[in-house]
Structure 1
Amino acid sequence: MRFKLNCIICLLLLVTTSAVAQVKTLIPGKDFSSIKVSTGLFVEIVTNAEEDKIEVRGSGRDEVSIEIEGDELQLSLPVGQIFSETEILVTVYTNEIVELKVRSGSEVEFMTPVTQENLKLIASEGSYIGGELQVDYLSLRAVTGASLSLIGSAKTMTIEMKTGASFDGEELKTETTDISLSFGGEASVFVTETCNARVNAGGTILIYGHPETLSQNVKLGGEIKVLD
């Protein structure tokens, strides 16, 4: 494993290798609450784990860079590996994650329901985030063709989407949602109480759940639809 270590970060390396399964396991020596994934990686996240642990599978496992800066776990591949056909899967086990940032065509899936108070998800550059959530407050940001697909529930949700991003949230039940969509893209939300929806310069917002209070604002093209 090409494992980067700097003077600020101290990762305790416990590496076990299975020639059959092609798996490396790393146990970090420092807590993290944020995860950043980039350069086309495929990552699974298992929450409510008993210990923080990272497993890397595949023939290209030695190419994965793993760092912790501050409280952020950073996972990436070298630029030259982005378009490689090498199969790599990273599984992150953690007790709780409060922020996830995914970029550069990476794909991240929550393998277990995320049950906690707050969660912030950021996706960009054609990346993807999916999974089941049970949270009180959810913040979403998606830009440049990124997509999110979420199920479960959130009491309060804020969404900012730009430049062709998409959000499939019809099965994510919320009480209050504030959503802003700009420069194309599409989002579907499920809201029961209060929904503030804004579209600027193209794009479509689909609203399910028949919210009791609905504020709509469309500028320079685009549409907002209320559906059964």
Structure 2
Amino acid sequence: MKKVLGSFLILAFQLSFAQSVRNVGSFNSLKVYNKLNITLIPSNENKVETETEDAEVETINKNGELKIKLSPAKILQGGTISVKVYYQKINDIQASQGSSITSTDEMETSMLSLTSNEGSKIDMNVDAEKLNVKTNSGGEVKISGKADNQDIVVNSGGKYYGKNAVSKNTSVTANAGGFAEVYVKDSVKATTRAGGIIDIYGDPDDRKVKNVIGGKINFK
């Protein structure tokens, strides 16, 4: 019995030591680095919860821009560390250096900007009046839900999966091997350059398309 109790106390101590919760103050912009896995959770307070030692993950809030990254000593451990970000309001999200960002709930906002760089991934459900998306260097963004107006730019092998995000009006550009799929009900302006590919769903009446140095625009 004593051995069981002792083992339980050791386990409880390890769990409490491994978890870290910190208040990060008000922010509306989030930038994530170093292959961290981020889960966004709507809340009435702004805080960050990690399942690792406090010193391993750095949080820096400067003028409402929250940066989350690994400490220099732990920079090679990305991909195995999960972080929960509790937020009140966000309108700008950027994932870099192979990080991933997902959300537990639909994000309702008037304007949202998403950027995915260097093989990072963003996967979210949104209800937005205006959605801006940019992907670079193999970054991916996957969106479901609704965005009345979209401005999408995919560069250098970046990808945008937006077939399940219904929009009224969309401007979409695919450059240098980038790929984008969009769902548009009313008006679309699509441009491809240097091998970009765009798939358009929804059969919009107003169509403006332009191919520069190759690329494909497909109406599905």
Please, what TM-score do these two structures have when normalized by structure 1?
A: 0.87
User: Could you tell me which amino acid in structure 2 is paired with residue 110 of structure 1?
Assistant: S
CA separation in 1, counterparts of 2:145 and 2:159? 18
Percent same amino acid at aligned positions?
25
1:170-185 to structure 2, matched below 5 A, reads: 170-185=163-178
Q: Structure 1 residue 131: deviation in Å?
A: 1.0
Is 1:163 the counterpart of 2:156? The answer is yes
1:25 to 10, 21, 26: 21
User: Could you tell me which amino acid in structure 1 is paired with residue 212 of structure 2?
Assistant: K
1:42 maps to 37
Aligned Cα root-mean-square deviation (Å): 1.7
1:203 maps to 196
For residues 88-118 of structure 1, what are the alpha-carbon distances to aligned partners after superposition, in whole Å with 9 as ceiling and x for unaligned?
1110001110101110001010111101111
**2:112 aligned counterpart, secondary structure:** strand
Q: Structure 1 residue 83: deviation in Å?
A: 3.3
CA separation in 2, counterparts of 1:111 and 1:99? 17
User: Could you tell me which amino acid in structure 2 is paired with residue 131 of structure 1?
Assistant: M
2:117 to 110, 113, 124: 124
Count of paired positions: 208
1:51 maps to 45
CA separation in 2, counterparts of 1:143 and 1:85? 20
Query: Which runs of 5 or more structure 1 residues have no equivalent in the other structure?
Result: 1-16
Q: Structure 1 residue 123: deviation in Å?
A: 1.0
1:37-186 to structure 2, matched below 5 A, reads: 37-47=32-42, 49-58=43-52, 61-79=54-72, 81-84=74-77, 87-186=80-179
CA separation in 1, counterparts of 2:219 and 2:40? 33
Query: Which runs of 5 or more structure 2 residues have no equivalent in the other structure?
Result: 1-11
Please, what TM-score do these two structures have when normalized by structure 2?
A: 0.90
CA separation in 1, counterparts of 2:38 and 2:20? 14
CA separation in 2, counterparts of 1:138 and 1:41? 24
Change (3 A) 1:119 1:18: farther
Change (3 A) 1:86 1:101: closer
8 Å CA contact retained: 2:21, 2:48? yes
Change (3 A) 1:99 1:53: same
Change (3 A) 1:115 1:212: same
CA separation in 1, counterparts of 2:22 and 2:150? 34
Q: Structure 1 residue 87: deviation in Å?
A: 2.6
CA separation in 2, counterparts of 1:36 and 1:99? 8
CA separation in 2, counterparts of 1:80 and 1:20? 22
CA separation in 1, counterparts of 2:160 and 2:103? 16
User: Could you tell me which amino acid in structure 1 is paired with residue 148 of structure 2?
Assistant: K
8 Å CA contact retained: 1:39, 1:78? no
Structure (1 or 2) with the larger CA radius of gyration = 2
1:9 maps to none
8 Å CA contact retained: 2:37, 2:79? no
Higher helix share: 2
Q: Structure 1 residue 143: deviation in Å?
A: 0.6
1:13 maps to none
Q: Which segment is superposed worse, 18-27 or 181-190?
A: 18-27
